[in-house]
Amino acid sequence: MAFPHRPDAPELPDFSMLKRLARDQLIYLLEQLPGKKDLFIEADLMSPLDRIANVSILKQHEVDKLYKVENKPALSSNEQLCFLVRPRIKNMRYIASLVNADKLAGRTRKYKVIFSPQKFYACEMVLEEEGIYGDVSCDEWAFSLLPLDVDLLSMELPEFFRDYFLEGDQRWINTVAQALHLLSTLYGPFPNCYGIGRCAKMAYELWRNLEEEEDGETKGRRPEIGHIFLLDRGISVSDVDFVTALCSQVVYEGLVDDTFRIKCGSVDFGPEVTSSDKSLKVLLNAEDKVFNEIRNEHFSNVFGFLSQKARNLQAQYDRRRGMDIKQMKNFVSQELKGLKQEHRLLSLHIGACESIMKKKTKQDFQELIKTEHALLEGFNIRESTSYIEEHIDRQVSPIESLRLMCLLSITENGLIPKDYRSLKTQYLQSYGPEHLLTFSNLRRAGLLTEQAPGDTLTAVESKVSKLVTDKAAGKITDAFSSLAKRSNFRAISKKLNLIPRVDGEYDLKVPRDMAYVFGGAYVPLSCRIIEQVLERRSWQGLDEVVRLLNCSDFAFTDMTKEDKASSESLRLILVVFLGGCTFSEISALRFLGREKGYRFIFLTTAVTNSARLMEAMSEVKA
């Protein structure tokens, strides 16, 4: 049941080197401030830091106490303070308030700010405006790639999504380019590059510039990874690709993420899962043998698998009976530990499953999934709309309601004006007027729009032309006028066969295609595109799709000679998601890899899901 890799599947490169690099660099930076010091860490950096250097390593380098960066005065009495932060303006103001308070009290200490992954000029500007630029020393910790698993690298930059796709702020693109540059210096050049999306293209070009500037460094190295594929979370301007991220996840890993929130590769299982009075932090990756076998499975198979596993385990325990002393000694010293470990993991995942089931039945999960599938297929739109309305009226969940509204809008190419108004009104009545701003954000991002064809297009068009130069804007106008009125999503899903026609029941135990990650209802667009391009080794023959995605200017391929690449490396593919990817997409591509004898490696700005996406768009009262 758990899919084994094909025997000819290529080996993955060793990414633990990235961790060592980051750790060494951090230690170097800490040593730059010799002597005892207190370390202030931004909350968002705590989990990633924990994966790189634990407390005892920090203590070895004379870090005395650890504090969280929060809006409270610091109680530290140390003479040296070190701040480890993301380059955000609010952090600068926090640091400034500390330093200025010290100044008022006539106290002098040493301050060092370490920006991760890089510092921005705007931050230094704020330090200067606050009058403390001369009092602090600034450094950069270029830690931008965290290996969360053997095949998953995360930049842990969830704000990338909102910054770029909502605010049009491009500052993180350079960070991505630098991360790619680091990968190519460590793992050799990539002989084949593909990409689609505006952001992907920009990142690609910046990366190329970096490579050219440091010409010769990667030249002559054997490529370890044969292909790289860059794509935007919102590939097209009409954002049909968001559909994937908006659907409920039903593959185990995705479901765990949706239910418990996987943070930086680990999850906090509460008492309801651990069946004790304590919460437990559990790392979820390939090292967890039980998890590794069920992570990519449709949820309906997981229980069966786990109970089979439990029976096997019991059988192994049972072998003890009838053992003589020597065999028993052997058993205790060699097998028992492994069995106990497996036992522990098994009961954890069974607990997690139960907890998921309980939550899902309470929310009438079946009903929800049915609605989602109806939306994807474009049936019973009225019924779905009333379902959403009821969902809002009953205050089931603000984020879920928003997600369903967006799904309806994207699949239908915008809501009809009446629904657009009434759903919004209902939502505001349920959750408060500040969500006027949320709706304004969603409209700007193209996630929730109104269906007056002329108007809608103009709105999207003006949104797009704001992002590009005048020349490109003209082209886009042309593209828009050539667009038919019908739903873009339908056209694309038809063209790419995203919604497979199934005769009879879709057998989730033996998946036939990537659609299994959504219960057979939908193949993630991003994954389908990757599949198609890899098959052709180019965008050739996909012109219509590219046109529908409005990406004629942003789809690219770049092939160099492959003579140096081994056949093994040519079956390794690095997929770069700009703006985040979901566990469902990861599972789908892992499936594709097994089918075709590839192995995929994922690099994402952050792992995302529908809730994170919606939260990024929401305005909440602070």
Which of 115, 539 has the CB closer to other proteins? 115
Q: What secondary structure, in 3-state letters, does 459-502 show?
A: HHHHHHHHHCCHHHHHHHHHHHHHCCCCCHHHHHHHHCCCCCCC
| C-alpha to C-alpha distances, 585 to 1, 283, 603, nearest whole angstrom | 20, 20, 12
Residue 505 as a binder of other proteins (CB under 8 A): the answer is no
Q: How far is the CB of 120 from other proteins (least distance, A)?
A: 6
- Pick 39 or 180: Cβ nearer other proteins: 180
Given 312, 330, 440, 552, the residue binding other proteins (CB under 8 A):
440
Q: Which tokens sit at 58?
A: 């920090």
- Bin 143: left if φ > 0, else alpha if -120 < ψ < 50, else beta: beta
Query: Contact between 436 and other proteins (CB under 8 A)?
Result: yes
Q: Cβ(345)–Cβ(313) under 8 Å?
A: no
Least separation in angstroms between residue 52's CB and other proteins is: 25
Q: Least distance from C-beta 160 to other proteins, angstroms? A: 13
Closer of 435 and 571 to other proteins (Cβ): 435
Is 421 a binding residue for other proteins by CB under 8 A? The answer is yes
Residues near 228 by beta carbon (within 8 Å), at least 6 away in sequence: 180, 190, 192, 193, 194, 573, 574, 575, 576
| CB nearer other proteins, residue 201 or residue 490 | 201
Give the Cα separation of 35 and 140 in Å (integer).
Answer: 20
Applying CB under 8 A, among 135, 139, 163, 419 the residue interacting with other proteins is 163
Among 45, 81, 113, 173, binds other proteins (CB under 8 A): 173
Least separation in angstroms between CB 394 and other proteins? 5
Please say which residue, 158 or 524, places its beta carbon nearer to other proteins: 158
> Which of 17, 89, 328, 416 is the binder for other proteins (CB under 8 A)?
89
Contacting residue, 7, 75, 106, 215, with other proteins by CB under 8 A: 215
**Binding of other proteins by 553 (CB under 8 A):** no
Of 319 and 466, the one with the shorter C-beta distance to other proteins is 466
CA 142/CA 155 separation, integer angstroms: 11
Tell me the one-letter amino acid at 463: K
Note if the bond before 417 is cis, omega within 30 degrees.
Answer: no
**Residues contacting 504, CB < 8 A, separation 6+:** none
Residue 208 is a binding residue for other proteins (CB under 8 A): no
Nearest-angstrom CA–CA distance, 449 and 232? 20
**Per rule CB under 8 A, is residue 213 in the interface with other proteins?**
yes
The residue within the footprint of other proteins, chosen from 114, 126, 460, 551 (CB under 8 A), is 126
265, 602 Cβ separation under 8 angstroms? no
Query: Tokens 């997690």 label which residue?
Result: 352
Residues 424, 461 contacting (CB under 8 angstroms): no
Contact map string, positions 449 to 488, toward other proteins, x by CB under 8 A: -----------------xxxx-------------------
Residue 515: which residues within 8 A CB-CB, separation 6 or more? 498, 499, 500, 506, 521, 522, 523
- Is residue 619 a contact point for other proteins (CB under 8 A)? yes
Number of residues that bind other proteins (CB under 8 A): 50
Q: Which of 32, 54, 209, 275 binds other proteins (CB under 8 A)?
A: 209
* Residues making contact with other proteins (CB under 8 A): 88-90, 120-122, 125-126, 129, 163, 167-171, 173-174, 177, 202, 205-206, 209, 213, 215, 389-390, 393-395, 421, 424-426, 428-434, 436-437, 440, 466-469, 619, 621-622
